[in-house]
Every structure is written in C-alpha cells, then in structure tokens.
Structure 1
Amino acid sequence: MNNNIVTGIDIGGSHITAALIDLHAHSIIRDSLIRHHVNSKGDTKQILKEWTDAITACKACHAGASNKIGIAMPGPFDYENGISLIKGLDKFETLYDLNVKKLLATQLKIENTDIFMMNDASCFLKGEVFGGAASNCNTAIGITLGTGLGSATYKNGIVYDGDLYYTPYKDTTAEEYLSTRWFIKRYQELTGTTPKNVKEISEQIPFNTAALKIFAEFGNNLGEVLAAYIKKHRAETVVIGGNIIKAWDLFINQTRQVLQHHALEVFVAKAALGEEAALLGAGSLCSMNAISIKSKS
C-alpha cells in the first residue's frame, strides 16, 4: 500500500468527482478521474450508493492506493465528526443529522479515521492557493457558484471556512441570489417558462433579452455581495469557481464595474484549476504537511 496515493473527492449538489492524488508530486493521477451524477434529493441509501460506486471505481484504478480519503463537501456540516447539518437548501435533506462519515466508512469497509472532510469552498481555495490563480497572493477570498454558494478566505497561510452563503442580502440571503436556483426562478418570472439549467439560459444570448437581463442582474448581485465581503476581509484577490463560471464572460464585466464603483482595487480571477482545485485540496487533507484549514470565516 502506497500511503502517498490517496483519494480526493469533490461532492456537489448534482455530482461527485473522484481522483487519486499523489501527495508527493502534488498532482492528480490522470487516468483515475471519475465523475458521476448524484441525485441530491434522493434517500440516504441512494446517495450513499452513488458516492460509494464512484469512490470504488476511482480506487480500482490503482491497486496500491491507501484507504485515506479526503472529501470536499458543501455545508453546513460538522466536518470533524462527519455529521450533516444541511437543511432547507434543496439538497441532501435526507442526510440531515446523520453521521455521514461513519455511514460511508461502513459502505467502503474502511475505518472512520481514514476519512477527512472539509468545506468544498475551503478545499477549492486551498488548491488555488497551492498552484492556481491565488498562488502569489497574501490574502484571498474564494467563492464557488453552483447549486449553492460556497466561500472561504485565506490569510497568513491558513484557509478559513466562509459564511457568505447566509449573509443577509436584499430580502433574504446571498445564496438565494447567487446560485442556480436563482437563475431558474428569475427566468420563470421574466418568461413564464422553466429552463433546465444555467447553460440553457446562456445559450439564448444574444438573441433573448430576458437572458441578457438575467446575467446582468447576476453580475450586479455578485458585485454587491463581494464588495462587502472584500471590505470585511481586506482581500487583495478573489478567485471564483463552480459550474456557473462556464458563463463567465456573460456576467463578470458587470461584477467588476460594481467593485470599481465601490472603489475596490482587487484582482478578480476565474479559477485556474477548475474542479481539480477542490480535488487537490481535499486529497491534501490526508497529509500532515497540508496548508491549514480552520472552521472560521
């Protein structure tokens, strides 16, 4: 068994991505990368099976891989004890108050202590600081835009869990304006029809005025939310990841204009490592020499 080969996992609201990580080389073993769809609205048994199938298939790519697994998981979550606190977020509701770490260890026939879990946005930022868009900065904010809103901050060599998702914004919280469900809801309000996803809306540009309006509004919302967070953490760099950045060019100019309006001189960058950032960050949780992560915004 090679203790330098561990499994890095990135769990999202609609997928699980797994890859073997070479801790010594700080890299992903390319032929081990696996991505499976996950029904986050399924029951506990279904969700655990989908996760287990992906992890098992990934580990099968290298017979000598260790049992150590690092998981980037959306919150809220008691990461140290492995208990899900996700409730009212339209995903993984059936896992609420369950010891996910213990259940998953049982399914994989490994020890609870072989599994390390941390906020997905923290793992994402950790990876980008290590070798991506935030590699040359002293202070940074990382956010992930997808089925939910993830965030983390970096300062003095430590990555801290963020709390941006429940930050008050307009009539509710920031996540309600900066996630996939906002796009779906807003498109319904403007057109009366329901799109499948953000991609479907983006493909209608430049011919659909509603789609243009939606991305402009999103860019403005993102800028306003970021402005307050940047001031709070005095960040010099903001790195943005997640599935929604596939439409990067449709909203980022508006976001930058808002930040300029607030007189903020900050470097806003698209994630350089893509989903590999979270995988590398998660895998490095298994290493004693990793960049520290703390559950504090």
Structure 2
Amino acid sequence: MLTPVLEIGGTHVTAALVDTAEPALAHPAHRLALPAQGSADAILTGLAEAASRLTVADGAAWGVAVPGPFDYRRGVGLFEGVGKFDSLHGVDVGAELRTRLPVPPATLDFLNDADAFAIGEYAAGAARGHARAVCVTLGTGVGSAFLDHGVPVGSGPLVPPDGSAHLLAYGGKPLEDTVSRRGIRAAYTRAVAAGPGPVPDVRDIAALARAGDRSARIVLDHAFRALGEALAPWLCAFEATVLVVGGSIAGSWDLVEAPLRVGLAEGPDPRLAHRLPLRTSRRPAEAPLLGAAWWARRGADESGTRTGRWS
C-alpha cells in the first residue's frame, strides 16, 4: 500500500506517495512554496494544494512531518514568535486538513520534522540496522532525534530534554550560538574583524578553510568540536550505536568529522570518539518523507492511540 505524506518546511511543503515496503518514493515528490508568514487560511490552502497533487486511496493513513513547536498528539499549532507559521498558533491543523484533503483520511499522524528525518534514515538510510541511533541535522539550527528501534525517545534520563540537542548549552550559552548557520557566520565575522557588507555563508567559509584560510578553519573546528562535547554525555548515556549527521552543513563533512571526533573524546568516555560510527545522511532529501510514511504505517498497523495520532 502506498502511504501519502506531507513534509512541511519553513518555506515549502512537499507531498509524496511512499511505498513503505521498499521503502522508497513511488513517484517523484511535489514541492510547492508555502507562505510561512501568511494567514492560517493561506498556509492551509497551500498544504491542501500540495496534497491534491497525489492520487490517494480512500481511507489512507497520512503522515505529516512538521517543525515545532507543535502539539503532535492533538495536531494543534503552537507557533508563536518563532518567525514562521505564527498564524497557526492554536489552530487545529488536523481538523482543518481533514476537511481540506481531497480524500478524507482514515488517520493523520503528525511527527516532528527532525524525528521524521531520523526515522527515514533508520528505515532506509545511514541508521538502518542500528537499535540506538542518534541523528542530528545542522543548518539554521541543530535538530536531533534519539531513536530506540526506530521510535523517538523524548523523555527520561538518557536523552536531553525533549530529545532536543538545540536545548543543550556550550560555554554557558545555547549550543546554537556556536553550532548553526547564524553562529558560524557570526564567529567568522568576529575572527576577521569584518566591516559592513555581505557575510560569507557557511559553504563559503568552508571553501575558504579548504583554501588555507586559518580563521575559517579555526571557526569551523571550534563549532564542530563544541557539537561533539555537547553530545558526548548523551551519546554515552543513550548507548548510541551510530551518530548520523544531516542538514546543509553536513555537506562539508570533510571539515566536520575530525573536530567532531575531537569533541567526542572530551566526553565521559574518550573511547567514544573512535568506537562510535559517524555517518552522513544517505537519503537527505527523501528521509523526512520516508520517515513520515513509516510512522503513519506503523500507527495504522497498531491498535490504540499513540503520540502523534490524529483520527
């Protein structure tokens, strides 16, 4: 059975049909622009427009990957002051989609976009075969998911609060002040005492580092070592069997891996730096779609209600 999914990003929505038996996309995905700053009706209309591009069977179980803050159990937006989707604050997105989708769904399973990415990598990517996988995405921020046999763990003593690495601190400040597009660009600007004018993006700073720019290399080394130091205690506590790194910054893996391992060696078990497999995403574009479908299919195959299920 093909499972329909929506992946909601900051500026786009992607709709796809996933063959969960493979798992793989059954057809090319449909990606449409989404007015993140628009009205609730405009955003919901955009989601419905993307969904209408799919040919969906009656009674399908849908998977919907959406960034937080969001009440995944109730399907209600909690966005407020985060710069996107503020008009969905308090909106019952599940109820709205149920009336707007071209074919009424049997269920809607909402899950966090970072969790969807990780589950996709667990189902068909770099985390496949690993019982205790930790996946992080590096870009505008630090997304994360701690998976126990493919199921996100968001509470308890073995994971950070909500399973979220972006809530961790480094040097007394939020980790994202150091490890993020914003943090890396700001650090490079300070390092070279840059005046007014365009600030190089991370890919440009990476290119400068490869070309011998010492300041660029120091900035990147510091950022990824900080990531390793912040994650190390939790990777040990969770007894992770793999760390998968995705997101746009992972494209500079040749500059990420070595300082990341140095940071891991600063944790409670220095052997972690050499023992733990580090992998980059194998399905960076498809993973959130595959993960959303896997989660929806899992929910359809189980009885009862679980976190994220809306029916």
TM-score where L is the length of structure 2: 0.79
2:247 counterpart of 1:250 = no
Which of residues 8, 11, 16 is equivalent to 2:8? 11
Secondary structure of the residue aligned to 2:265 is helix
Q: Say if 1:151 and 1:164, in contact at 8 Å, map to a contact too.
A: yes
- Verify the 8 A CA contact 1:101 1:112 in the aligned structure 2: no
User: Identity of paired residues, percent?
Assistant: 29
RMSD, matched Cα: 3.0
Rg comparison, structure with higher value: 2
CA distance in structure 1 between the aligned counterparts of 2:35 and 2:52, rounded to whole angstroms: 18
Shift of 1:280: 0.8
1:124-165: per-residue Cα shift (whole Å, max 9, x none)? 222222222122222121112223322211225533242222
- Could you tell me how far apart the structure 1 residues matched to 2:190 and 2:114 are? 30
Query: Deviation of residue 113 (structure 1)?
Result: 5.3
Q: Is the 8 A contact 1:74 1:150 kept in 2?
A: no
1:78 equivalent in structure 2: 71
- 2:281 corresponds to: 271
Change beyond 3 A, Cα 1:170–1:37: farther
**Amino acid in the other structure paired with 1:172:** K
Unaligned residue ranges in structure 2 (runs of 5+): 155-162
1:48 equivalenced with 2:41 (yes/no): no
- Counterpart residue identity of residue 262, structure 2: Q
C-alpha displacement at 1:10, in angstroms? 2.4
- Residues 1:199 and 2:200 are matched in the alignment: no
Asked if residue 285 in structure 1 is aligned to residue 295 in structure 2, the reply is: yes
Mapped to 2, the partners of 1:219 and 1:139 lie a distance apart of: 22
User: Partner amino acid for 1:35?
Assistant: R
**Does the CA-based 8 Å contact 1:159-1:293 persist in structure 2?**
no
Where structure 1 has 5 or more consecutive residues not aligned to the other structure, the ranges are: none
- In structure 2, do the counterparts of structure 1 residues 215 and 15 end up closer, same or farther at CA, with 3 Å as the change threshold? farther
CA distance in 1, matches of 2:201, 2:30: 22
- State the one-letter code of the partner of 1:33: A
With over 3 angstroms needed to count, the CA separation of the structure-2 counterparts of 1:115 and 1:198, relative to structure 1, is farther
Q: Following the alignment from structure 2 to structure 1, what is the Cα–Cα distance between the partners of residues 92 and 189?
A: 37
- Displacement after TM superposition at 1:63 (Å): 6.3
Amino acid at match of 2:264: L
Task: For 1:157 and 1:285, locate their aligned partners in 2 and report how far apart those are by CA, in whole Å.
Answer: 9
Whole-angstrom distance in 1 between the partners of 2:142 and 2:64: 18
Shift of 1:226: 1.4
Provide, for residues 67-124 of structure 1, a one-character-per-residue CA deviation record: whole Å limited to 9, x for no partner.
5421112223210111122334433333233222233334435547542210112222
The residue number in structure 2 matching 1:36 is 32
- The structural deviation recorded for 1:20 is 0.9
In structure 1, what is the Cα distance between the partners aligned to 2:83 and 2:92? 19
Residues 14-29 of structure 1 mapped to structure 2, 5 A cutoff: 14-29=11-26
Paired with 1:269 and 1:243, the residues of 2 have a C-alpha distance of: 14
Partner of 1:122: 115
The verdict on how the C-alpha distance between 1:116 and 1:155 changes in structure 2, with shifts beyond 3 A counting, is closer
What residue identity is the alignment partner of 2:44?
L
Q: Which amino acid aligns with 1:96?
A: H
In the alignment, does 2:229 pair up with 1:231? no
Per the TM alignment, residue 28 of structure 1 is displaced from its structure 2 partner at its CA by 1.0
TM-score, normalised to structure 1, is: 0.82
Assess if the C-alpha contact under 8 Å between 1:188 and 1:194 holds in 2: no
| 1:128-277 equivalence runs, <5 A | 128-156=121-149, 158-161=151-154, 162-190=163-191, 191-192=194-195, 193-195=197-199, 197-207=201-211, 208-262=213-267, 263=270, 264=272, 265-277=275-287
- SS in structure 2 at match of 1:235: coil
Greater mean alpha carbon deviation, residues 217-226 or residues 84-93: 84-93
Inter-partner Cα distance in structure 1 for 2:296 and 2:72: 14
SS of 2:140 mapped into structure 1: coil
